[in-house]
């Protein structure tokens, strides 16, 4: 019997798992994919929003602000790269400058610190590559950038270290009442009994909510498409550049990432298929067109990849959090669209408290806030590199030449808690294959190591679990 079953190992589920791991509780996270961060969490803008764009008084506004504040400590404890590079929202017309003022006022109401309204000249001084026609800008220094899957991995590893269990390739099929608690039926045929359930299933949260409650809602999946640009342009912008939502479309941003690349996107289009995250010609073209408005110098070469992710949009456009009144011991974390990444730590803090009090769980006395050390050869100094190779000769063999990832890091990514089981798992943990050659060089090498470490033939190695085998039998 578990105390808590968490459905979904996205940033929300893993943040909650981490907070629950501070309690004396038996917790299991069930995830249908082969790894954490396999849903929306791996495909979004990766911005830690300052919080001026959320509607005052909404849960989004509240948790955006609180979440943003938690980022420094969470990322430090989990050794996850995070940078407060500042967010700049730019306006090109009188009308947009007016709209910017409204955003500023909302920001003040929401409690966003340090905002500044700038004229065009001041904006260009901070960001010389901006479109020179910029008329005004709102700068929010508390905006930041993070790597969403690295953060999620950090939280999951930390939860695991503190005793939380994770089951992958385990899809939750149904929930049934069992006394006060629940029986959770999964695709593996197992029935897991638990005192409570946390619904953190991303775009499928409506499915579970509507299964147990009369207070129904419907998730409208809304896709967002992106381009990534090579490190050559890493210094094009310091801050994240947003455009004021207006007639040219909304929300296409241009931003540096913590990994030194640039991200452009997203679009916004409602879709029906929650399994389909294909990019489209129209979407990708639109991103470039709108992004050029911020950055006329946008290069036509140097793209490294494209991707897209699904927002869990609700008509009411706010998060749905906490225990459902007509389904005791069922807790929602639903409708978590942007700023969900930013909000996740704060949502987790409150939800874990609610669960603790409801179930009467005690605090654990040996909680550790970190995770096993992560080695990043590319960030080491000469001396550290020398030292590392002396300690473990596998640091002396570079497997991914673009991102400078060593064999030691690849092996560690497979051996560590909740280690990688697929090529994408290795990629998200180490960055091997994420550089400009997009794994042309390292793929066979990574597969050899996976095959050796997992004791599986090469033909069984997958890109991301399931039927995604790389080679033919």
Partner 1 sequence: MNEVDVLIIGGGPAGLAAALSAREAGCSNILILEREQELGGILRQCIHPGFGLHIFKEELTGPEYAARYVKRVLESGIPYETDTMVIDITPDRVVTTVSRKDGLRQIRAKSIVLAMGCRERPRGALGIPGSRCAGIFSAGTAQRFVNLEGELPGKRIVILGSGDIGLIMARRLTFAGAKVLAAVELMPYSSGLTRNVVQCLNDYDIPLMLSHTVTEIRGKDRLEAVVISEVDGRLKPIPGTERVIECDTLLLSVGLIPENELSKAAGVELDGVTGGPVVNDRLGTNVAGIFACGNVLHVHDLVDNVSEESERAGRYAAEFALGHRDSDAERMIAVRDGAGVRGLVPQLVSLESLRNGESVNLMFRPANVYQNAFLVLESDGQPVKRFRRLILTPGEMQTIKLDASMFGNQLPQKTISVSVEM
User: Residue 65 half-sphere exposure, CB side, CA atoms within 13 Å?
Assistant: 18
| Least Å from the CB of residue 335 to ligand FAD | 9
Our finding on whether 281 is near partner 1 (CB under 8 A) is yes
Site for partner 1 in 293-312 (CB under 8 A): 301, 303-307
Considering 49, 313, 317, 379, which one is annotated as catalytic?
Answer: 49
Cβ(43)–Cβ(277) below 8 Å: yes
The β-bridge partners of 330 are: 197
In what helix (H) or strand (E) does residue 125 lie, and over which residues does it extend? helix 120-126
Our finding on whether 438 is near partner 1 (CB under 8 A) is yes
- Window contacting partner 1 (CB under 8 A); options: 76-84, 154-162, 342-350, 383-391: 383-391
- Window contacting ligand FAD (CB under 6 A); options: 92-100, 189-197, 304-312, 359-367: 304-312
Token pair belonging to 157 = 């590893």
49 is catalytic: yes
Nearer to partner 1, 291 or 404 (CB): 404
Our finding on whether 449 is near partner 1 (CB under 8 A) is no
Our finding on whether 164 is near ligand FAD (CB under 6 A) is no
Beta-carbon contacts of residue 191 (< 8 Å; ≥ 6 apart) = 183, 184, 185
Token pair belonging to 417 = 């808690």
| Least Å from the CB of residue 133 to ligand FAD | 25
For the CA atoms of 8, 9, 14, 15, the dihedral, rounded to the nearest 10 degrees, stands at -60
Beta-carbon contacts of residue 409 (< 8 Å; ≥ 6 apart) = 375, 376, 377, 395, 399, 430, 432
Length of the chain: 473
Choose from ligand FAD, partner 1, none: what does 12 bind? Cβ within 5-8 Å by kind: ligand FAD
Among 53, 342, 406, 462, binds ligand FAD (CB under 6 A): 342
Choose from ligand FAD, partner 1, none: what does 279 bind? Cβ within 5-8 Å by kind: partner 1
- Window contacting partner 1 (CB under 8 A); options: 50-58, 149-157, 194-202, 430-438: 430-438
Where are the alpha helices (H) located in 200-309, listed in sequence order? 205-212, 281-294
CA distance 253 to 47: 10
CA distance 152 to 19: 13
Our finding on whether 404 is near partner 1 (CB under 8 A) is yes
Nearer to partner 1, 84 or 231 (CB): 231
Choose from ligand FAD, partner 1, none: what does 283 bind? Cβ within 5-8 Å by kind: partner 1
Cβ(5)–Cβ(194) below 8 Å: yes
Our finding on whether 38 is near ligand FAD (CB under 6 A) is yes
CA distance 12 to 199: 10
Our finding on whether 279 is near ligand FAD (CB under 6 A) is no
CA angle (83, 146, 395) in 5-degree steps: 95
Judged by CB under 8 A, the number of residues near partner 1 is: 52
Among 54, 184, 192, 336, binds ligand FAD (CB under 6 A): 336
Token pair belonging to 393 = 């000769």
Nearest residue to 405 via CA among 383, 382, 425, 426: 426
Among 13, 86, 283, 433, binds ligand FAD (CB under 6 A): 13
Cβ(378)–Cβ(388) below 8 Å: no
CA angle (36, 38, 44) in 5-degree steps: 115
Among 4, 7, 184, 450, binds ligand FAD (CB under 6 A): 7
Beta-carbon contacts of residue 16 (< 8 Å; ≥ 6 apart) = 6, 198, 200, 333, 347, 348, 351, 352
Nearer to ligand FAD, 48 or 161 (CB): 48
Residue nearest to ligand FAD (CB): 340
Mark 224-243 with x for binding to ligand FAD (rule: CB under 6 A) and - for no binding. Answer: x-------------------
Token pair belonging to 243 = 């455009």
Nearer to partner 1, 303 or 367 (CB): 303
Mark 187-216 with x for binding to ligand FAD (rule: CB under 6 A) and - for no binding. Answer: -------------xxx-x------------
For the CA atoms of 9, 14, 15, 18, the dihedral, rounded to the nearest 10 degrees, stands at 160
Choose from partner 1, ligand FAD, none: what does 463 bind? Cβ within 5-8 Å by kind: partner 1
- Give contact residues for partner 1 (rule: CB under 8 A): 227-228, 275-281, 283-284, 301, 303-307, 382, 385-386, 389-390, 393-394, 396-398, 401-402, 404, 406, 436-441, 443-444, 448, 458-459, 462-464, 466-472
Active site residues: 49
- Give contact residues for ligand FAD (rule: CB under 6 A): 7-13, 30-33, 38-41, 44-47, 49, 171-172, 200-202, 204, 224, 266, 309-311, 336-342
């Amino acid at each position: 019997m578990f105390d808590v079953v968490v459905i979904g190992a996205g940033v929300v589920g893993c943040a909650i798992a981490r907070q629950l791991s501070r309690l004396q509780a038996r917790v299991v996270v069930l995830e249908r994919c082969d790894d954490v961060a396999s849903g929306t969490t791996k495909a979004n803008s990766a911005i830690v929003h300052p919080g001026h764009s959320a509607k005052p008084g909404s849960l989004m506004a509240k948790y955006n602000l609180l979440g943003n504040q938690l980022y420094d400590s969470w990322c430090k404890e989990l050794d996850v790269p995070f940078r407060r590079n500042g967010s700049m929202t730019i306006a090109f017309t009188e009308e947009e400058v007016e709209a910017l003022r409204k955003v500023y006022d909302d920001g003040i109401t929401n409690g966003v610190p340090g905002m500044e309204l700038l004229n065009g000249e001041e904006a260009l001084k901070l960001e010389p590559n901006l479109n020179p026609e910029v008329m005004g800008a709102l700068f929010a220094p508390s905006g930041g950038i993070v790597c969403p899957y690295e953060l999620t991995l950090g939280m999951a590893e930390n939860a695991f270290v503190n005793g939380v269990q994770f089951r992958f390739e385990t899809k939750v099929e149904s929930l049934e009442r069992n006394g006060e608690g629940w029986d959770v039926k999964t695709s593996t045929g197992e029935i897991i009994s638990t005192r409570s359930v946390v619904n953190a299933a991303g775009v499928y949260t409506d499915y579970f909510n509507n299964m147990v409650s009369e207070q129904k809602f419907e998730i409208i999946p809304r896709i967002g498409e992106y381009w990534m640009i090579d490190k050559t342009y890493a210094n094009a912008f310091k801050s994240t550049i947003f455009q004021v939502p207006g007639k040219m479309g909304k929300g296409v941003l241009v931003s540096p990432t913590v990994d030194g690349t640039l991200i452009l996107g997203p679009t916004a289009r409602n879709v029906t298929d929650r399994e389909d995250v294909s990019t489209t010609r129209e979407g990708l073209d639109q991103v470039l067109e709108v992004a050029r408005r911020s950055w006329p110098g946008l290069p036509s070469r140097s793209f490294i990849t494209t991707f897209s992710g699904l927002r869990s949009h609700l008509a009411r456009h706010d998060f749905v959090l906490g225990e459902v009144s007509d389904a005791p011991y069922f807790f929602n974390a639903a409708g978590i669209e942007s700023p969900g990444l930013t909000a996740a730590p704060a949502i987790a803090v409150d939800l874990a408290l609610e669960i603790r009090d409801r179930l009467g769980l005690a605090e654990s006395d040996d909680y550790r806030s970190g995770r096993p050390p992560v080695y990043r050869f590319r960030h080491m100094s000469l001396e550290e590199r020398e030292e590392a190779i002396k300690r473990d000769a596998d640091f002396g063999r570079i497997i991914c030449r673009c991102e400078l990832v060593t064999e030691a890091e690849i092996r560690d990514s497979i051996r560590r808690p909740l280690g990688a089981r697929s090529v994408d798992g290795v990629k998200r943990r180490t960055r091997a294959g994420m550089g400009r050659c997009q794994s042309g060089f390292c793929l066979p090498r990574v597969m050899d190591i996976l095959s050796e470490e997992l004791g599986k033939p090469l033909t069984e190695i997958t890109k991301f679990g399931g039927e995604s085998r790389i080679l033919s039998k």
